[in-house]
Amino acid sequence: METTYVTTTIPYVNARPHIGFALELVQADALARYHRLKGGSVRFQTGTDDNALSNVLSARAAGVPVDAFVRENSDAFRSLCGALDISADHFIRTSDATHHAAVRHFLASLRSGDTYEASYRGLYCPRCEDFYLERDADGARCPDHGTALDEVEETNQFFRLERYQGAVRDLIASRRLEILPESREVEVLRFIDGGLRDFSISRSAERAGGWGVPFPGHPGQVVYVWVDALVNYLTGLGYPDPTTLDPFWTGSSRKVHVIGKNVWKFHAVYWPALLLSAGLDVPDRILAHGFLTEDGRKISKSAGNATDPKDFVARYGADAVRYYLLAHVRPFEDTDFSVTRLEAVYRADLANTLGNLCCRLTALCEQAGVGGVEPLGAHPAPAGYHESLSGFHFDQAAAALWNELGRLNREVAEGRPWEVIEAGRGEVVAGKLVEWARRLLAVTHWLRPLLPSTSARIHEVLTAKEIRKCEPPFPAVGRGTLPTPE
Protein backbone atom coordinates (compact mmCIF):
# COMPACT_ATOMS: atom_id res chain seq x y z
CA MET A 1 0.00 0.00 0.00
CA GLU A 2 1.24 3.48 -0.88
CA THR A 3 2.00 5.59 2.21
CA THR A 4 2.06 9.37 2.30
CA TYR A 5 3.02 11.81 5.04
CA VAL A 6 1.79 15.38 4.55
CA THR A 7 2.73 18.27 6.84
CA THR A 8 2.19 21.99 7.07
CA THR A 9 4.65 24.35 8.66
CA ILE A 10 3.93 25.15 12.28
CA PRO A 11 3.24 28.89 12.61
CA TYR A 12 4.38 31.10 15.45
CA VAL A 13 1.56 31.84 17.88
CA ASN A 14 2.47 35.46 18.50
CA ALA A 15 -1.02 36.32 17.23
CA ARG A 16 -4.19 34.57 16.16
CA PRO A 17 -4.31 32.85 12.73
CA HIS A 18 -5.02 34.77 9.54
CA ILE A 19 -6.29 33.90 6.07
CA GLY A 20 -2.74 33.38 4.75
CA PHE A 21 -2.20 30.29 6.88
CA ALA A 22 -5.68 29.02 5.95
CA LEU A 23 -4.33 28.71 2.40
CA GLU A 24 -1.57 26.35 3.55
CA LEU A 25 -3.97 24.31 5.67
CA VAL A 26 -6.44 23.65 2.86
CA GLN A 27 -3.69 22.87 0.35
CA ALA A 28 -2.19 20.25 2.65
CA ASP A 29 -5.61 18.91 3.54
CA ALA A 30 -6.58 18.53 -0.11
CA LEU A 31 -3.41 16.50 -0.71
CA ALA A 32 -4.06 14.26 2.27
CA ARG A 33 -7.69 13.69 1.30
CA TYR A 34 -6.71 12.98 -2.31
CA HIS A 35 -4.25 10.26 -1.37
CA ARG A 36 -6.76 8.73 1.06
CA LEU A 37 -9.37 8.78 -1.71
CA LYS A 38 -7.01 6.77 -3.90
CA GLY A 39 -6.77 4.13 -1.18
CA GLY A 40 -3.36 4.95 0.26
CA SER A 41 -2.29 5.07 3.89
CA VAL A 42 -1.97 8.73 4.85
CA ARG A 43 -0.70 10.63 7.85
CA PHE A 44 -1.41 14.38 7.95
CA GLN A 45 0.05 16.68 10.59
CA THR A 46 -0.18 20.35 11.50
CA GLY A 47 0.28 22.28 14.72
CA THR A 48 1.92 25.35 16.25
CA ASP A 49 5.41 26.59 17.03
CA ASP A 50 5.14 27.57 20.69
CA ASN A 51 8.83 28.27 21.31
CA ALA A 52 9.59 31.31 19.15
CA LEU A 53 11.06 34.47 20.63
CA SER A 54 8.33 36.45 18.87
CA ASN A 55 5.80 34.61 21.05
CA VAL A 56 7.67 35.75 24.14
CA LEU A 57 7.86 39.36 22.97
CA SER A 58 4.15 39.44 22.07
CA ALA A 59 3.19 37.96 25.43
CA ARG A 60 5.23 40.61 27.21
CA ALA A 61 3.61 43.35 25.16
CA ALA A 62 0.19 41.97 26.09
CA GLY A 63 1.13 41.68 29.76
CA VAL A 64 0.20 37.99 29.78
CA PRO A 65 2.30 35.05 31.03
CA VAL A 66 3.98 33.38 28.07
CA ASP A 67 2.52 29.91 28.66
CA ALA A 68 -1.05 31.28 28.89
CA PHE A 69 -0.55 33.51 25.83
CA VAL A 70 0.86 30.67 23.78
CA ARG A 71 -1.83 28.22 24.85
CA GLU A 72 -4.66 30.60 23.93
CA ASN A 73 -3.30 31.33 20.46
CA SER A 74 -2.41 27.69 19.81
CA ASP A 75 -6.01 26.80 20.66
CA ALA A 76 -7.13 29.38 18.08
CA PHE A 77 -5.10 27.59 15.38
CA ARG A 78 -6.57 24.25 16.45
CA SER A 79 -10.04 25.80 16.26
CA LEU A 80 -9.31 27.04 12.73
CA CYS A 81 -8.60 23.46 11.69
CA GLY A 82 -12.08 22.50 12.85
CA ALA A 83 -13.69 25.47 11.13
CA LEU A 84 -12.05 24.63 7.79
CA ASP A 85 -12.82 20.90 8.07
CA ILE A 86 -9.11 20.02 8.14
CA SER A 87 -8.60 16.26 8.42
CA ALA A 88 -5.31 16.33 10.34
CA ASP A 89 -4.39 13.10 12.12
CA HIS A 90 -2.24 14.95 14.64
CA PHE A 91 -1.95 18.52 15.95
CA ILE A 92 1.42 19.09 17.55
CA ARG A 93 2.53 21.79 19.98
CA THR A 94 6.27 22.24 20.37
CA SER A 95 5.85 23.07 24.05
CA ASP A 96 4.81 19.44 24.66
CA ALA A 97 7.19 17.38 26.81
CA THR A 98 7.31 14.66 24.15
CA HIS A 99 8.62 17.19 21.63
CA HIS A 100 11.28 18.45 24.02
CA ALA A 101 12.46 14.87 24.51
CA ALA A 102 12.50 14.25 20.74
CA VAL A 103 14.62 17.37 20.13
CA ARG A 104 17.14 16.29 22.75
CA HIS A 105 17.39 12.84 21.18
CA PHE A 106 17.77 14.33 17.69
CA LEU A 107 20.63 16.59 18.77
CA ALA A 108 22.36 13.65 20.44
CA SER A 109 22.04 11.73 17.16
CA LEU A 110 23.96 14.27 15.09
CA ARG A 111 27.22 13.00 13.68
CA SER A 112 30.21 13.43 15.96
CA GLY A 113 32.04 16.64 15.15
CA ASP A 114 29.07 18.25 13.37
CA THR A 115 28.47 20.62 16.27
CA TYR A 116 30.85 23.01 17.99
CA GLU A 117 30.84 26.15 20.14
CA ALA A 118 31.75 29.59 18.80
CA SER A 119 31.08 33.27 19.33
CA TYR A 120 28.94 35.14 16.87
CA ARG A 121 27.97 38.71 16.13
CA GLY A 122 25.31 39.59 13.62
CA LEU A 123 22.01 41.21 12.71
CA TYR A 124 18.98 39.31 13.96
CA CYS A 125 15.25 39.52 13.23
CA PRO A 126 13.16 38.18 16.13
CA ARG A 127 10.15 37.82 13.83
CA CYS A 128 11.99 35.64 11.30
CA GLU A 129 14.12 34.07 14.06
CA ASP A 130 17.03 34.40 11.64
CA PHE A 131 20.40 36.12 11.32
CA TYR A 132 21.08 38.25 8.24
CA LEU A 133 24.35 39.17 6.60
CA GLU A 134 24.85 42.88 6.03
CA ARG A 135 24.75 42.28 2.26
CA ASP A 136 21.26 40.73 2.60
CA ALA A 137 19.86 43.38 4.94
CA ASP A 138 18.42 46.58 3.55
CA GLY A 139 19.96 49.28 5.70
CA ALA A 140 20.03 46.98 8.77
CA ARG A 141 16.34 46.20 8.24
CA CYS A 142 14.71 42.80 7.79
CA PRO A 143 14.15 42.20 4.05
CA ASP A 144 10.90 40.35 4.81
CA HIS A 145 9.33 42.44 7.59
CA GLY A 146 11.00 45.79 6.98
CA THR A 147 11.71 46.17 10.71
CA ALA A 148 15.01 47.18 12.28
CA LEU A 149 17.34 44.26 12.94
CA ASP A 150 18.83 43.69 16.39
CA GLU A 151 22.60 43.53 16.68
CA VAL A 152 23.34 40.38 18.67
CA GLU A 153 26.64 39.06 20.01
CA GLU A 154 26.77 35.79 21.94
CA THR A 155 28.41 32.39 22.20
CA ASN A 156 26.31 29.60 20.69
CA GLN A 157 26.43 26.01 19.52
CA PHE A 158 26.95 25.74 15.76
CA PHE A 159 26.18 23.09 13.12
CA ARG A 160 28.69 22.36 10.33
CA LEU A 161 26.34 23.10 7.45
CA GLU A 162 29.26 23.71 5.09
CA ARG A 163 30.19 20.03 5.41
CA TYR A 164 26.87 19.05 3.77
CA GLN A 165 26.86 21.51 0.86
CA GLY A 166 27.66 18.91 -1.80
CA ALA A 167 25.28 16.28 -0.43
CA VAL A 168 22.33 18.65 -0.14
CA ARG A 169 22.94 20.06 -3.58
CA ASP A 170 23.05 16.57 -5.08
CA LEU A 171 19.75 15.64 -3.39
CA ILE A 172 18.02 18.61 -4.95
CA ALA A 173 19.68 18.57 -8.37
CA SER A 174 18.89 14.86 -8.77
CA ARG A 175 15.29 15.49 -7.61
CA ARG A 176 15.57 12.90 -4.87
CA LEU A 177 14.40 15.89 -2.91
CA GLU A 178 12.02 17.62 -5.30
CA ILE A 179 11.24 21.29 -4.76
CA LEU A 180 8.19 22.78 -6.42
CA PRO A 181 7.81 25.00 -8.30
CA GLU A 182 10.94 24.62 -10.40
CA SER A 183 11.64 28.34 -10.07
CA ARG A 184 12.01 27.81 -6.33
CA GLU A 185 14.37 24.90 -6.97
CA VAL A 186 16.54 27.20 -9.07
CA GLU A 187 16.54 29.73 -6.25
CA VAL A 188 17.60 27.11 -3.69
CA LEU A 189 20.41 25.77 -5.88
CA ARG A 190 21.66 29.29 -6.50
CA PHE A 191 21.73 29.87 -2.74
CA ILE A 192 23.69 26.66 -2.17
CA ASP A 193 26.13 27.46 -4.95
CA GLY A 194 26.82 30.77 -3.25
CA GLY A 195 28.41 28.79 -0.43
CA LEU A 196 26.80 27.43 2.73
CA ARG A 197 27.99 28.71 6.08
CA ASP A 198 27.77 26.96 9.42
CA PHE A 199 24.83 28.25 11.44
CA SER A 200 24.01 28.68 15.10
CA ILE A 201 21.69 26.03 16.51
CA SER A 202 21.31 27.59 19.95
CA ARG A 203 20.36 30.93 21.43
CA SER A 204 20.98 32.62 24.76
CA ALA A 205 18.40 31.41 27.28
CA GLU A 206 18.46 34.86 28.84
CA ARG A 207 17.61 36.56 25.56
CA ALA A 208 14.86 33.97 24.99
CA GLY A 209 13.36 34.72 28.39
CA GLY A 210 14.04 31.15 29.46
CA TRP A 211 11.42 29.99 26.95
CA GLY A 212 12.14 27.10 24.58
CA VAL A 213 13.85 23.71 24.60
CA PRO A 214 16.93 23.75 26.90
CA PHE A 215 20.04 22.83 24.92
CA PRO A 216 21.46 19.54 26.31
CA GLY A 217 24.64 20.11 28.30
CA HIS A 218 24.48 23.89 27.99
CA PRO A 219 22.15 25.33 30.66
CA GLY A 220 22.58 28.92 29.46
CA GLN A 221 21.28 28.06 25.98
CA VAL A 222 18.00 27.04 24.35
CA VAL A 223 17.72 25.19 21.04
CA TYR A 224 17.41 27.52 18.05
CA VAL A 225 13.71 27.59 17.34
CA TRP A 226 14.07 26.63 13.68
CA VAL A 227 15.96 23.45 14.61
CA ASP A 228 13.43 22.73 17.32
CA ALA A 229 10.53 23.42 14.92
CA LEU A 230 11.83 21.20 12.11
CA VAL A 231 12.06 18.21 14.44
CA ASN A 232 8.26 18.44 14.87
CA TYR A 233 7.91 16.48 11.63
CA LEU A 234 9.51 13.54 13.43
CA THR A 235 7.98 14.12 16.86
CA GLY A 236 4.47 13.71 15.53
CA LEU A 237 5.41 10.26 14.24
CA GLY A 238 6.59 9.12 17.66
CA TYR A 239 10.32 9.71 17.11
CA PRO A 240 12.63 8.20 18.23
CA ASP A 241 10.48 5.05 18.40
CA PRO A 242 11.17 3.27 15.06
CA THR A 243 7.93 1.27 15.21
CA THR A 244 5.87 4.45 14.78
CA LEU A 245 8.42 6.46 12.78
CA ASP A 246 9.21 3.90 10.09
CA PRO A 247 5.80 3.50 8.39
CA PHE A 248 5.69 7.14 7.29
CA TRP A 249 9.27 8.38 7.31
CA THR A 250 11.61 5.66 6.12
CA GLY A 251 11.84 3.65 2.93
CA SER A 252 9.25 4.16 0.22
CA SER A 253 6.89 6.46 2.10
CA ARG A 254 6.19 9.73 0.28
CA LYS A 255 7.02 12.67 2.57
CA VAL A 256 5.60 16.04 1.50
CA HIS A 257 6.21 19.33 3.32
CA VAL A 258 3.77 22.11 2.40
CA ILE A 259 5.46 25.43 3.24
CA GLY A 260 5.40 29.14 2.49
CA LYS A 261 7.89 30.39 -0.08
CA ASN A 262 9.72 32.48 2.55
CA VAL A 263 10.94 29.51 4.64
CA TRP A 264 12.58 27.34 1.99
CA LYS A 265 16.08 27.90 3.41
CA PHE A 266 15.17 26.08 6.60
CA HIS A 267 13.27 23.23 4.90
CA ALA A 268 15.32 22.72 1.73
CA VAL A 269 18.83 23.39 3.10
CA TYR A 270 19.06 23.20 6.90
CA TRP A 271 16.61 20.33 7.37
CA PRO A 272 18.07 17.80 4.88
CA ALA A 273 21.58 18.56 6.18
CA LEU A 274 20.48 17.94 9.77
CA LEU A 275 18.70 14.73 8.77
CA LEU A 276 21.76 13.46 6.92
CA SER A 277 23.87 14.16 10.01
CA ALA A 278 21.37 12.25 12.16
CA GLY A 279 21.34 9.30 9.73
CA LEU A 280 17.68 9.73 8.80
CA ASP A 281 15.82 9.85 5.49
CA VAL A 282 15.10 13.24 3.93
CA PRO A 283 11.73 14.49 2.61
CA ASP A 284 10.70 13.64 -0.93
CA ARG A 285 8.92 16.83 -1.90
CA ILE A 286 8.71 20.40 -0.70
CA LEU A 287 5.77 22.39 -2.00
CA ALA A 288 6.49 26.12 -1.58
CA HIS A 289 3.26 28.02 -2.11
CA GLY A 290 2.91 31.73 -2.81
CA PHE A 291 1.41 34.36 -0.55
CA LEU A 292 -2.05 35.80 -0.32
CA THR A 293 -1.80 39.53 -0.88
CA GLU A 294 -3.97 42.59 -0.55
CA ASP A 295 -3.34 45.21 -3.21
CA GLY A 296 -0.03 43.46 -3.88
CA ARG A 297 1.10 43.47 -0.21
CA LYS A 298 1.55 40.19 1.63
CA ILE A 299 -1.23 39.49 4.11
CA SER A 300 0.45 39.00 7.48
CA LYS A 301 0.12 39.72 11.15
CA SER A 302 3.02 42.17 11.09
CA ALA A 303 1.60 44.08 8.09
CA GLY A 304 -1.62 44.72 10.01
CA ASN A 305 -3.84 43.51 7.14
CA ALA A 306 -4.61 40.03 8.46
CA THR A 307 -8.22 38.88 8.61
CA ASP A 308 -9.53 36.03 10.75
CA PRO A 309 -10.53 33.29 8.28
CA LYS A 310 -13.26 32.11 10.65
CA ASP A 311 -15.18 35.29 9.78
CA PHE A 312 -15.36 34.13 6.16
CA VAL A 313 -16.29 30.59 7.20
CA ALA A 314 -19.12 31.95 9.35
CA ARG A 315 -20.57 33.85 6.40
CA TYR A 316 -19.90 31.60 3.41
CA GLY A 317 -19.25 28.18 4.91
CA ALA A 318 -16.05 26.13 5.11
CA ASP A 319 -16.38 24.56 1.67
CA ALA A 320 -16.82 27.92 -0.05
CA VAL A 321 -13.66 29.30 1.58
CA ARG A 322 -11.78 26.09 0.77
CA TYR A 323 -12.91 26.22 -2.85
CA TYR A 324 -11.85 29.84 -3.31
CA LEU A 325 -8.39 29.19 -1.84
CA LEU A 326 -7.85 26.05 -3.90
CA ALA A 327 -9.54 26.90 -7.20
CA HIS A 328 -8.90 30.63 -7.50
CA VAL A 329 -5.48 31.07 -5.91
CA ARG A 330 -2.44 30.21 -8.02
CA PRO A 331 -0.63 27.60 -5.90
CA PHE A 332 2.92 28.75 -6.58
CA GLU A 333 2.43 32.48 -7.07
CA ASP A 334 1.21 35.41 -5.01
CA THR A 335 -2.51 36.06 -5.43
CA ASP A 336 -4.61 38.99 -4.25
CA PHE A 337 -7.35 37.97 -1.82
CA SER A 338 -10.57 39.91 -2.30
CA VAL A 339 -13.93 39.56 -0.58
CA THR A 340 -15.56 40.89 -3.75
CA ARG A 341 -13.86 38.13 -5.75
CA LEU A 342 -14.83 35.52 -3.16
CA GLU A 343 -18.48 36.52 -3.44
CA ALA A 344 -18.33 36.45 -7.23
CA VAL A 345 -16.83 32.96 -7.18
CA TYR A 346 -19.46 31.86 -4.66
CA ARG A 347 -22.26 32.95 -6.98
CA ALA A 348 -20.83 31.78 -10.30
CA ASP A 349 -19.08 28.52 -9.45
CA LEU A 350 -20.81 27.26 -6.32
CA ALA A 351 -24.37 28.60 -6.27
CA ASN A 352 -25.00 28.73 -10.02
CA THR A 353 -22.90 25.94 -11.55
CA LEU A 354 -22.71 23.24 -8.88
CA GLY A 355 -25.70 24.22 -6.77
CA ASN A 356 -28.17 24.72 -9.60
CA LEU A 357 -27.13 21.49 -11.33
CA CYS A 358 -27.60 19.46 -8.16
CA CYS A 359 -31.02 20.97 -7.40
CA ARG A 360 -32.27 20.73 -10.98
CA LEU A 361 -31.06 17.19 -11.66
CA THR A 362 -32.24 15.72 -8.35
CA ALA A 363 -35.65 17.41 -8.79
CA LEU A 364 -35.98 15.85 -12.27
CA CYS A 365 -34.97 12.44 -10.92
CA GLU A 366 -37.59 12.73 -8.17
CA GLN A 367 -40.30 13.70 -10.66
CA ALA A 368 -39.37 10.80 -12.95
CA GLY A 369 -39.19 8.31 -10.06
CA VAL A 370 -35.49 7.55 -10.53
CA GLY A 371 -33.95 5.53 -7.73
CA GLY A 372 -30.51 6.11 -6.27
CA VAL A 373 -27.54 5.42 -8.51
CA GLU A 374 -24.27 3.58 -8.03
CA PRO A 375 -21.19 3.70 -10.26
CA LEU A 376 -20.91 0.98 -12.87
CA GLY A 377 -17.22 0.66 -11.97
CA ALA A 378 -14.52 2.94 -10.66
CA HIS A 379 -15.54 6.59 -10.69
CA PRO A 380 -14.01 8.12 -13.85
CA ALA A 381 -12.11 11.33 -13.16
CA PRO A 382 -12.24 14.23 -15.62
CA ALA A 383 -9.29 14.53 -18.00
CA GLY A 384 -6.32 16.21 -16.34
CA TYR A 385 -7.63 15.87 -12.77
CA HIS A 386 -5.08 13.34 -11.49
CA GLU A 387 -2.18 14.98 -13.28
CA SER A 388 -3.12 18.34 -11.79
CA LEU A 389 -3.45 17.16 -8.21
CA SER A 390 -0.32 15.04 -8.42
CA GLY A 391 1.54 18.17 -9.53
CA PHE A 392 -0.09 20.26 -6.74
CA HIS A 393 -2.02 22.38 -9.25
CA PHE A 394 -5.20 22.56 -7.18
CA ASP A 395 -6.66 25.26 -9.40
CA GLN A 396 -6.31 23.11 -12.51
CA ALA A 397 -7.83 20.08 -10.77
CA ALA A 398 -10.83 22.22 -9.80
CA ALA A 399 -11.09 23.50 -13.37
CA ALA A 400 -11.23 19.93 -14.67
CA LEU A 401 -14.17 19.18 -12.36
CA TRP A 402 -15.98 22.39 -13.24
CA ASN A 403 -15.56 21.72 -16.95
CA GLU A 404 -17.47 18.48 -16.46
CA LEU A 405 -20.12 20.26 -14.39
CA GLY A 406 -20.48 22.78 -17.22
CA ARG A 407 -20.95 20.00 -19.77
CA LEU A 408 -23.61 18.38 -17.57
CA ASN A 409 -25.47 21.67 -17.17
CA ARG A 410 -25.49 22.22 -20.93
CA GLU A 411 -26.66 18.67 -21.69
CA VAL A 412 -29.53 18.92 -19.21
CA ALA A 413 -30.55 22.31 -20.58
CA GLU A 414 -30.38 21.13 -24.21
CA GLY A 415 -32.17 17.85 -23.46
CA ARG A 416 -35.12 19.61 -21.80
CA PRO A 417 -36.21 16.45 -19.94
CA TRP A 418 -38.77 18.38 -17.89
CA GLU A 419 -41.00 18.70 -20.97
CA VAL A 420 -41.20 14.91 -21.31
CA ILE A 421 -41.77 14.49 -17.57
CA GLU A 422 -44.55 17.11 -17.56
CA ALA A 423 -46.21 15.14 -20.37
CA GLY A 424 -46.38 12.13 -18.03
CA ARG A 425 -43.70 10.12 -19.85
CA GLY A 426 -40.88 10.21 -17.31
CA GLU A 427 -39.82 6.65 -18.13
CA VAL A 428 -38.65 7.87 -21.56
CA VAL A 429 -35.91 10.06 -20.03
CA ALA A 430 -35.20 7.94 -16.96
CA GLY A 431 -32.17 6.32 -18.58
CA LYS A 432 -30.65 9.67 -19.48
CA LEU A 433 -31.30 11.01 -15.98
CA VAL A 434 -29.49 7.99 -14.51
CA GLU A 435 -26.52 8.62 -16.81
CA TRP A 436 -26.34 12.28 -15.75
CA ALA A 437 -26.73 11.34 -12.09
CA ARG A 438 -23.85 8.86 -12.37
CA ARG A 439 -21.63 11.49 -13.95
CA LEU A 440 -22.49 13.98 -11.21
CA LEU A 441 -21.75 11.25 -8.66
CA ALA A 442 -18.30 10.78 -10.22
CA VAL A 443 -17.61 14.51 -10.04
CA THR A 444 -18.64 14.68 -6.39
CA HIS A 445 -16.41 11.68 -5.65
CA TRP A 446 -13.31 13.49 -6.92
CA LEU A 447 -14.55 16.74 -5.40
CA ARG A 448 -14.03 15.36 -1.89
CA PRO A 449 -10.48 16.67 -1.43
CA LEU A 450 -11.69 20.20 -2.20
CA LEU A 451 -15.23 20.33 -0.80
CA PRO A 452 -15.52 17.42 1.65
CA SER A 453 -18.81 18.38 3.30
CA THR A 454 -20.69 19.37 0.14
CA SER A 455 -19.55 16.30 -1.79
CA ALA A 456 -20.67 14.03 1.05
CA ARG A 457 -24.15 15.60 1.12
CA ILE A 458 -24.60 15.32 -2.66
CA HIS A 459 -23.36 11.72 -2.61
CA GLU A 460 -25.93 10.87 0.05
CA VAL A 461 -28.77 12.31 -2.05
CA LEU A 462 -27.69 10.56 -5.27
CA THR A 463 -27.19 7.14 -3.69
CA ALA A 464 -30.34 7.11 -1.53
CA LYS A 465 -33.00 4.47 -2.24
CA GLU A 466 -35.02 7.14 -4.03
CA ILE A 467 -33.54 10.41 -5.22
CA ARG A 468 -35.21 13.47 -3.76
CA LYS A 469 -34.57 17.09 -4.67
CA CYS A 470 -31.64 18.31 -2.60
CA GLU A 471 -31.50 21.54 -0.68
CA PRO A 472 -29.31 24.20 -2.34
CA PRO A 473 -25.79 23.41 -1.13
CA PHE A 474 -24.84 27.06 -1.59
CA PRO A 475 -27.74 29.44 -0.91
CA ALA A 476 -27.76 32.38 -3.29
CA VAL A 477 -25.92 35.47 -2.08
CA GLY A 478 -28.16 38.49 -1.64
CA ARG A 479 -31.34 36.63 -0.70
CA GLY A 480 -30.82 36.90 3.04
CA THR A 481 -30.22 33.19 3.42
CA LEU A 482 -26.51 33.32 4.27
CA PRO A 483 -25.45 33.28 7.91
CA THR A 484 -23.60 36.40 8.99
CA PRO A 485 -20.64 36.58 11.40
CA GLU A 486 -21.63 36.99 15.02
- Whole-angstrom CA distances from 404 to 110, 322, 352, 444, 463 are 52, 20, 14, 11, 20
pLDDT lower than 50: segments of the chain? 303-305, 478-486
pTM exceeds 0.85:
yes
pLDDT of residue 208: 85
pLDDT at 483: 41
pLDDT of residue 486: 33
> How do the residues of the chain divide into helix, strand and coil, expressed in percent and rounded to 5?
50, 15, 35
Q: What is the pLDDT of residue 123?
A: 76
Assigned fold of 339-462? Isoleucyl-tRNA Synthetase; Domain 1 (1.10.730)
Residue 404's pLDDT is 97
Interatomic CA distance for residues 188 and 193, integer angstroms: 9
pLDDT at 295: 64
Residue ranges per structural domain of the chain: 3-289, 339-462
Asked whether 397 and 388 are in contact (CB, 8 A), the reply is yes
Count of residues for the chain? 486
User: DSSP readout, 136-204?
Assistant: TSSSSB-TTT-PBPEEEEEEEEEE-GGGGHHHHHHHHHTTSSEEESHHHHHHHHHHHHT----EE-EEE
- Chain centroid to Cα 58, Å, comes to 25
Answer yes or no: are the C-beta atoms of 159 and 179 closer than 8 Å: no
Q: What is the pLDDT of residues 54-109, one digit of tens each?
A: 999 999 999 999 999 999 999 999 999 999 999 999 999 999 999 999 999 999 99
Question: Quick one: 3-289 is in which CATH superfamily?
Answer: HUPs (3.40.50.620)
Contact between residue 222 and residue 259 where contact means Cβ atoms under 8 Å apart:
no
SS3 83: helix
pLDDT of residue 286: 98
